[in-house]
Structure formats: C-alpha cells, structure tokens
Structure 1
C-alpha cells in the first residue's frame, strides 16, 4: 500500500461510514492522495523524515438529510520550513442545539445550516526547531434556520449571523514522530481568531483554543496518548459556533457553551507489527453562559477499538472505535489519529 500511494500516485479510497448521533447514520466516499515532498540533501544527511503531502476530495450524506462535499489538503515546503493546510466545501447540516441552565431541563432545538465554508492556514518553522508560528483565515457563509419558528424566543437576532470571517494567529510545538498516527512526541497549539466586519463578518467575536497531545511509548509495544483541550468564545458568537465537547461517544453539539474543557487518554497495544488494540476514556465540561464551572456536570466517555498498519512507510493506521457516554454510543471509522 505504501508503494502504491507514494510511488504510483494511487488514491486511498476511504469509505465514510457515519454513525454520529447528531446527524444519524450515513455514508460517503473520499479519495485521498499522498505525495512525498521534495527533500534537500542537507535534510537527508541530518536524518530528517518529512511528513507526506496529503490532499483529497470527498462527499457524504446521512439519514436525517445532512449532506456535504469538499476538498482539501496539507502540504510541506522547503524541507518542512513552511506548512500549508486548506479546506473548502459546501454542506447542508441538520443538527440540534441544547439550551443549558441550572433550573430548567435542557431543551433540544432542531436547526439547519446551509452554505459554504473555507479554512486556510500557513505555518512557518523557527529555524530547524520544532516550533511554528501560523496565520489563518476562516470563512463561512451559512443560512441558519430553526425547524420551529416558535424556538426563536431562545435566541437573539445576532445569534443567526450568516457570514463569519475571521483572521487568526497561532503558536505550536510539534515533535511527533509521525503526523498521521504518532507513537511518540508532543503536539501543543495555542491559537486565537478574531471575527469582525472589517474582515467580512456580520458579528464581532473571538474564538480561542489551546490543546496538547502527548504520546508516550513504553514496555516496547504500548503507546499512551494523553490529551488536554480547552476552547472558548467571546462576543456576539453565532449559536452554532459556540465550542462543543468533542469526545468520542458524545453527540456533536450536545454540550455547547462559551467554554469547553476536555481530558482524554488512549492506550494502544501493538500486538504485532501490523495489528493493535485500543482502549480510551475521557471527560469534559461546558460552562459560561448560565452555568459556572463548579455547577457544570462532568460528561464522561469510554471506548475500545483496533488498528491496522495499512501503509508502513507512511506510518498510517486505520481502524474502528466503539465509544459510549451517558447519553449516546457510536462507532467511528478512523484513518490516522482520532485527535484533530
């Protein structure tokens, strides 16, 4: 598979099998291409191994009428001194928004988002270190509609902003041995994005995120992954851009608020050079608008899975995860790491 993907310009056809509780079951297909970037002789002499360029196109549809199509990729230039990542597409998504409060039970409000989206980011390495600085542009032009007009009482007019256009900066540290399925190293990122009319946005607001993934090999055949993730939003944030607890086993958007924090651990046991078993668990909180951190409930998840090393030269594992929480359960087909 490595030879086919890297030397013969073959595509990895990835089935998109969706069991996400937020949108129901569904499927689609993605064609993903891999290419080894040009590498200088100096870089080869230093023993550096450059990450592959990855790009592709895909489409999907689910039973609740959600559909989407898009293309994107990540590329490395000048011995990985520069990195570019981009994504663009069109989608129509049917989701549920849950009101949060300490006195009343959460209310589920159905809504639809229909429109286009784009994400563009350029990163620059500091010398030959593992540190990067980045700049990004995020653009969305989405028509948001509630299934029941009577639910408008739970929102402000600015919650339905159509265009969100933001410029952001970031700082990151990346010492992972592999960007697809790491076995050792650390990825840390700090990023903030400002949305304002001057950038083409209807509302003025800011989003922030910092997260760290640490991969620790031990006992010759095991890898322990640790994840901490904090996200927040301030200003006139459209309701659908509020951060959400992002853990396997929890429906997307089920727990949204101004602030979201998550912890997760994953243990991979390599049975042999090709096959591995996984166990994972996590916890998260959402708070800020009407619930403070102390009053917010802790949502936990747990799950198991397996991995198969499909492309040895790329270090690319694929597999299946099953996860559950207090409210949901789901299967996930994984290509590479489950953490994004």
Structure 2
C-alpha cells in the first residue's frame, strides 16, 4: 500500500510489501553448476545463491532521487517457507515469509531505519505485511497556483511510521481483501521559521492514524519482472481523531499494471495510477506525481493521476533494453483539472536477468523530466 508520503519515509516498508515468488529449484539431474553460474546456460546468475542461502540476504539500497539526493544503505532479509506449504517444484509457486531490517541515508541529510515482515498463513489464504520505521526526511514543498511566483518551502519531517496490513483470499481466485492501520507521529521543522505561517494549523498536523480497506487482484506471471498478466488494486483509508489522528481526512488510491508479450522478444507494460485525498490532510501527506524523472513530492495537490508505458526488448535471454514514457497531473486545492498542466517524463534503461529462477532483472534507468535528469538503480519492476 502506498501512503502518499515522500518516498524515503516508507522505503524500508515498501521493500517488504513486494510479494516475492519462490520459484522451482534448479534441475538436480544436471551437472551441478557453480554457485554463481546458471545450470541452464552457464551465465552469471544468483538464483542458487539466493535460494540456497537459507539465511540473511544482504540487499543494497541505492537512492537516486532529485528531491532527496543520492545515497544508499543496506537491508538484511531472512526467507522462510510457510509451515505446511507444498514444496517447490509443482505447478503452484509458493511465496515465502520474509523478515527484514534496514536503513539508508541520502546526501541531503534524509535518513530512515526500519524493520518489517511479509508473512503467509494457511496455504496463502491469509497474508500479513507490515513494519515500523524511524525517519527524518528533508524535502521542498512547492505551491503552484497559490502564490505568484510559486514558493518552494524547505522542510523536515522527523518521527515514526507504523504500517500494518492483513489480507484474506476470497474463494480460490487470486483476489484478496485487506484491512490496514497506518500511524504516523512526525515533528515538522522549517528551514525558515516564518514559512510555518503559510499553512493552517490542520495542515501542520503531526499525528495521523487511519484504518484502511483494500481489494487486490494479481495475475502476473512474475512479481519481480512480469511478462504477462496484470495487477489491480483499489484502497481507501480514513483518518479520525477518535483513533489518534490530529485531524480528519481520507486518502484513496486506484492503480492497475498490465503486461502484454509482443512476440518472443518484446513486452509492453502499461500503468494507470490515481490518488486523491479529502478533508484536513497535512501538507506533507498530499498525493503527488510518482514518475521516474520527477522528484518525490515535486508536484502535489489533493488529486494526482499518472499514465505510463514501458517497452522491454529482450535482446538476448539475459539482456534487455527498456524505454518508458509517462505523464502526470495534479489538481484540486491549487488548480482545477482543466487549468492544471501535464508533467511529462521519459527515459531509457538496460536490464540483466540476474536470477533466472526468480525471474528477477536488475539494471539502471536514465530519466529526464521538466526540471531534472537522473539515474535510477532498478531491482525488479519500478512500479510499486
């Protein structure tokens, strides 16, 4: 679940919200390959290392965001097969339990530390995703349409975030209903003290506590780098003083990702993502345009929508090139939908299939938007 807050604030928990498929082991009848060589094609591959590790896996965190600066950190993840699940090797892929902890820091002084888990119970009929993080984030708030010329207000949010979510499968389909509790307790500071006067007391709320309901369907063939199928989700969250929130507001999100193979070499992906908020939402919780090439929280308002497409060209069994193009718009508090402008971002990238048995690509993207040009290190799909 995306909380519509600056990206680094929930980066640690987001890593734990991505379902990870535990694929079939290598063919044991074949000649055993080296730890970092694939038994099928002999190429460099980390499948055996990841699947045979059976312990903590170090996961580097690399951050290249125009709003946050460059930085990085480290997460440690522990994989565990759910009790009673069928062993790998059949037609059904079993998702493992995942426990993790990590931290990161960026060049503008932002940092986070967090722990979390993604668990499966009763043959994947029940799921849990959640975590707790401590974060201090430095960002700029932009005010299009409110003042002439628009202002950029530099601010810091420092505090704790808790995200707890449980899912229940509906019938035998890949359809889940979820309940969530999201809690944030943040201190707000401004580089220029008088900038606080630009916001109402309710926009400066430091505590938000909300309950959420979601419906999710996932038919993708792979959760890391899909080639077919689609993921769709709708969710709503209500924040109320009666459950610990400083103000009453609601946040909603609806998104869908689709993947279509075009012959044997190409995969076309499409993404539609809409987010909106009502009520007395704190300014740092406003929806924003989430696109490669546009800084986190650069364009914010009570409504935000994004359309994006990506084409992957599998030049070989291991290497692929990608090109992507997207546009987003925000409106609501500052502008009407008709008066708001579209912000466009685009880019290119390269991928390598680093874990064939997990279907996981890694690589780098170069993207440019209205103000910024930057690189992104990618592990799996960039769409979350």
TM-score normalised according to structure 2 size: 0.84
> What is aligned with 1:184?
228
1:17 to 62, 79, 90: 62
Q: Tell me, what secondary structure is at the counterpart of 1:179?
A: coil
TM superposition shift of 1:184: 1.0
Q: Which moved more, 1:198-207 or 1:71-80?
A: 71-80
- Work out which structure has the larger RCO, using CA pairs closer than 8 Å and 6 or more positions apart in sequence: 2
1:39–1:50 contact (8 Å) kept in structure 2: no
CA–CA distance in 1 between the matches of 2:122 and 2:70? 42
Deviation at 1:329, TM superposition (A): 1.5
Q: Give the C-alpha shift of residue 10 in structure 1.
A: 4.4
Number of the residue aligned with 1:96: 140
Q: How does 1:279-318 map to 2 (within 5 A)?
A: 279-318=323-362
Matches within 5 A, 1:92-241: 92-101=136-145, 104-241=148-285
Matching residue of 2:122: 78
CA distance in 2, matches of 1:82, 1:43: 19
Q: Give the equivalent residue in structure 1 for 2:370.
A: 326
Q: What secondary structure, in the 3-state scheme, does the structure 1 residue paired with 2:49 have?
A: helix
1:137 Cα deviation after fit: 0.7
CA contact (8 A) 1:6 1:36 kept: no
Which one has the bigger strand percentage? Answer: 1
C-alpha RMSD of the superposition: 1.8
Aligned match of 1:273: 317
Verify the 8 A CA contact 1:144 1:162 in the aligned structure 2: yes
Query: Per-residue displacement from partner, 1:47-86 (whole Å, max 9, x unpaired)?
Result: 2212343332221111211111112232222222222111
**Measured at CA, do residues 242 and 95 of structure 1 come closer, stay the same or move farther in structure 2, by a change above 3 Å?**
same
Cα shift at 1:219: 1.2
Which moved further from structure 2: 222-231 or 68-77?
68-77
In 1, the alpha carbon distance for the partners of 2:168 and 2:319 equals 35
How far has the Cα of 1:204 moved from its partner? 0.5
Which of the numbers 233, 255, 278 marks the counterpart of 2:299?
Answer: 255
Classify the secondary structure of the residue corresponding to 2:328: strand
Deviation at 1:125, TM superposition (A): 1.1
The answer to whether the Cα contact below 8 Å between 1:9 and 1:34 also exists between their aligned partners in 2 is yes
Tell me if the contact between 2:159 and 2:186 (Cα under 8 Å) persists in the aligned partners. Answer: yes
2:276 counterpart SS class: strand
2:320·2:350 contact (CA, 8 Å) conserved in 1?
yes
Alpha-carbon contact 1:121-1:134 (below 8 Å) kept: yes
Q: What is the deviation of 1:8?
A: 2.6
Note if contact 1:5-1:11 (Cα within 8 Å) is conserved in structure 2: no
Structure 1's consecutive aligned runs of 4 or more residues displaced over 6 angstroms after TM superposition are 42-45
Q: CA deviation at 1:171?
A: 0.8
User: Within 2, Cα distance between the matches of 1:135 and 1:92?
Assistant: 27
- Whether the 8 Å contact between 2:114 and 2:132 is mirrored in structure 1 is yes
CA gap 1:306/1:34 in 2 versus in 1, 3 angstroms: farther
d(CA) in 1 for partners of 2:265, 2:83? 32
The one of 71, 87, 105 aligned to 1:26? 71
1:13/1:40 Cα in 2 relative to 1: closer, same or farther (>3 Å)? closer
CA distance in 1, matches of 2:204, 2:171: 44
**Structure 1 position 103, deviation (Å):** 6.5
Q: Distance in 2 between matches of 1:179 and 1:53?
A: 15
TM-fit CA distance, 1:289:
0.5
What secondary structure is seen at the aligned counterpart in 1 of 2:195?
helix
Structure 2 counterpart SS, 1:100:
coil
Task: Tell me the equivalent position of 2:103.
Answer: 59
Give the gaps of 5 or more residues in structure 1. none
Partners in 2 of 1:329 and 1:88 — Cα distance? 32
Taking structure 1 as the reference length, the TM-score comes to 0.94
Distance, in Å, in 2 between the alignment partners of 1:71 and 1:5 is: 21
